[in-house]
Amino acid sequence: MINLVVMEGDGIGPEITAATLEVLRAADAAFGLGLQFTPVMIGHASLRTHGTTLTDAAFEAACDADGVILGPVSHHEYPPVEKGGINPSGALRKRLDLYANIRPARSRPGIPPRCGVPVDLVIVRENTEGFYADRNMFIGSGEFMPTPDVALSVRKITRQGSTRIAEAAFELAKRRRKKLTVVHKANVLRVSENFFLDCVRAVGKAYPEVACEEVIVDAMAALLVRDASRYDVIVTTNMFGDILSDQASEIAGGLGLAASINHGAIYGVAQAQHGSAPDIAGQDRANPTSLIGSAAMLLAWLGDRRKDNRLLAAAAAIEAALDRALADPQGRTRDIGGSLGTKAFGARVAATLEPSAASR
């Protein structure tokens, strides 16, 4: 039995989560995975019911699960933390030590990439430190105002954080096209960025088969627009990774298609790259591709950890079903030129999931 905690989140979260669960149930039936889904309330619903967006019980449920499906959250609308407005996404990343945020950007059949060339790259983003104020301090926030006229932000880069994200990136590059690009800003942040680079270089000595290059972040933003097809795996610090992954996914076809997983040594959380889109919530208009793809990534992560070929095959079958659905203009959601709603798209992907296609 594999217990997946399901946190629907806010806005379009319940709709795209429902579509994702339909696909997962189809995969479960096809591959005999033994999936069990445990709903756990978070976000605005939890705030109304329990006075906090993330209860201790919700966090403990995530700890006890084999994996988590996390819908998008409207954390910008939450009250201050002291009034219960915890960002579930950031809190889970910090408290579960989900140090690796893996964000593929891949062109889908029938959907032209924005810049004219096919894209198939993965951004490996450090997820627990950097400039993120909610996760780089033991107590308090990494942002503070010593006077009414001065605002400061603390950036944390550690040897442990840099080394383990580099190891994750090199391991991934070794399984793909054996090319790694390290993105930095060492020409300006001379201490912290050079420290990060030194850690990555040290890890790289154990991976002589992986070609490694170093690119300054502003140049990287331009180079992705020029020709994203030349890149395979990109590793970088938290904020740069957040920005570049959105850019790369948009170039590949759009954020609505972009999957993502947050994982550490023990826990894994599937999470769409995009936000909660409250302006279209409840209208059956949201594209669930991102969360469906993220759920496939979670199955693949579990399959790698457990050496379970059924999970790996199920993940591949979901990806193949997404490709088939998206390749047909009539099989898409309205945001990318189709006519289907959220629920119908999820049903289409579930119905076209083929076990035999994943094993060929």
Which distant-in-sequence residues (6+ apart) come within 8 Å of 79 by Cβ?
47, 85
Is residue 25 a contact partner of residue 350, using CB atoms and an 8 Å limit?
yes
Residue 40, both tokens: 């756990």
How many whole angstroms separate alpha carbon 257 and alpha carbon 288? Answer: 8
* Residue carrying the six token digits 């826990």: 267
How many whole angstroms separate alpha carbon 106 and alpha carbon 207? Answer: 25
Check 156, 174, 178, 185 and give the catalytic one.
185
Is residue 233 a contact partner of residue 122, using CB atoms and an 8 Å limit?
yes
Residue 317 identity? A
Active site residue 207: no
- Closest-CA residue to 63 (of 95, 33, 35, 34): 95
Check 246, 284, 323, 335 and give the catalytic one.
246
Active site residue 132: yes
Residue 279 CB burial class (10 angstroms; 0-12, 13-18, ≥19): exposed
Q: How many CB atoms lie within 10 A of CB 127?
A: 26
Check 10, 28, 232, 242 and give the catalytic one.
242
Check 132, 207, 231, 267 and give the catalytic one.
132
**272: three-class secondary structure by DSSP:** coil
Is residue 214 a contact partner of residue 182, using CB atoms and an 8 Å limit?
yes
Partners of 212 in beta bridges: 180
Check 218, 227, 304, 328 and give the catalytic one.
218
Active site residue 218: yes
Query: Which residues are annotated as catalytic?
Result: 132, 185, 218, 242, 246
